[in-house]
Structure 1
């Protein structure tokens, strides 16, 4: 069984990916043209931030769980 905190991180990841999708849609409609390079740069920057963010959350949750035992 998956721990509740891991399930929460998974749901949070999915919601953040939907935010990324909205950002890409807004930028694409604003520019009135789909530019793969721009989309890749936005995605890379956003994903780099999210990887660091989720790594920090993982460490914090893990320490809190271990401290509670």
Structure 2
């Protein structure tokens, strides 16, 4: 998930930069929507596992026992 976030953030920064070959506001919206979908699907997957999960500020996944 973190890798997807890094890639999407980089792509968003590029497509929203004026002067970029692929500069399109619509593409920025698509990137945001894709990121939202990834987050929602990840949450659903974790809920299916059935164990409480916390994310701390350093982005580590901590499964509570």
After TM superposition, the score normalised by the length of structure 1 is 0.47
TM-score (norm 2): 0.49
Query: Quick check: which one's helix share is greater?
Result: 1
Q: Please tell me whether Structure 1 or Structure 2 has the larger radius of gyration of its CA atoms.
A: 1
Q: Which has the higher contact order (CA 8 A, sep 6+)?
A: 1
Higher strand share: 2
